[in-house]
Structure 1
Amino acid sequence: MPNILLTRIDNRLIHGQVGMTWANHLGANLIVVANDKVADDPVQQNLMDMAVSDVVDTRYFTIQETIDKIHYAADDQLIFLVVKDPQDVVKLVEGNVPIVKLNIGNMHFSEGKQQITSTVSVNEADKQAFRRLQKLGVKMEIRRVPDESNTDISKFL
């Protein structure tokens, strides 16, 4: 069983808040980014690697690669899994990735989305994905940074 400490939705994927603040808070030694586009974009990967301390490794996998490879993680790999949106989290959970706790950190506002907190905006597809994750038993919270109090997303669904 892989040691997934936390899964986070952040449409920016890895940046200072994720690469330093959250990784340090969790004690993670590996950040896995599950994203189809970034998995094939070495420029984006190099930019994201700049936001991570030297003691934390990174891996960039497609959603399917994450499903296929996560169970081969070594026992000493303490994994912080980062994804871009809730639909990808549903694919991972339905693909048997053992996600127990989901942190919703940042989902940018765009046309057709409703802002539910200062950093999270959702549309109906996002809400459906969160409801599906709820049914699958995933505990979910909205929290930007570790020292902030969390908000239960279920009141917005």
Structure 2
Amino acid sequence: MKITVTRIDDRYIHGQVLTKWIKLLPADRIIVVSKEVADDPMRKTLVLSVAPSNVKASAVSPEKMGRVFQNPKYEDTTAMLIFGNPTELLEAVNAGVEVKKVNVGGMRFAPDKIHVTESVSVTPEDVKAFRALADKGISLDLQQLPGDASKDFMKILDDKS
């Protein structure tokens, strides 16, 4: 499998993905990697229903993503991977998904989260997962839209936590 972009965005498939990222970095398939979405038929249908009609969309768990990534059947498939959080991304990496660079897009604020940027808020578990990903040599870049300047997310995170 050839990954065009790996993005963390808890909104999954939405306007920015549809109008900007998929056009800049075309893919045969958008894969939402989330246990919650994959295990909830109604939510899965809703999330995947907004994918462009010319792109296949699916939702899988991080463990299944590891199996799919390793399957020779998908060797020539190009895919955009979208995760809701860094913990599930780390699980997918540990399951065999090869990721070199991650686009950190959006993680909504909640009372148990630390506000890191205007668009990214994290829990202590998220911070731990981001650090583990960085320790594996994975580049983490903050970039909402393709036209925005890319910023080193770990530097921003370290300054805030």
Instruction: Tell whether the structures are fold-level matches, with TM greater than 0.5.
Output: yes
Aligned-pair Cα RMSD in Å: 1.5
Gaps of 5+ in 1: none
Contact 2:113 2:122 in 1 (8 A): yes
Match of 1:134? 134
What letter matches 1:44 in structure 2? R
1:88-119 deviation per Cα after TM superposition (whole angstroms, max 9, x unaligned): 11111111110111111001111132212110
Match of 1:106 in 2: 106
| Residue 19 of structure 1: how far off its partner (Å) | 3.2
Identity %: 30
TM-score (norm 1): 0.91
Structure in which a larger fraction of residues adopt helix: 2
Letter aligned with residue 2 of structure 2 = N
Q: Distance in 2 between matches of 1:53 and 1:14?
A: 10
Task: Give matches, 1:1-157, under 5 Å.
Answer: 2-72=1-71, 73-155=73-155, 156-157=157-158
Contact 2:86/2:130 (8 A) holds in 1 = yes
TM-score, with length taken from structure 2: 0.89
Q: Secondary structure of 1:18's partner?
A: helix
- 1:125 Cα deviation from its structure 2 partner: 1.7
Distance in 1, matches of 2:88 and 2:134, equals: 14
User: Which 4+ runs in 1 deviate beyond 4 A?
Assistant: none
Deviation digits for residues 112-148 of structure 1, max 9, x if unmatched? 3221211001122211111110110111101111111
User: 1:44 offset after TM fit, Å?
Assistant: 2.2
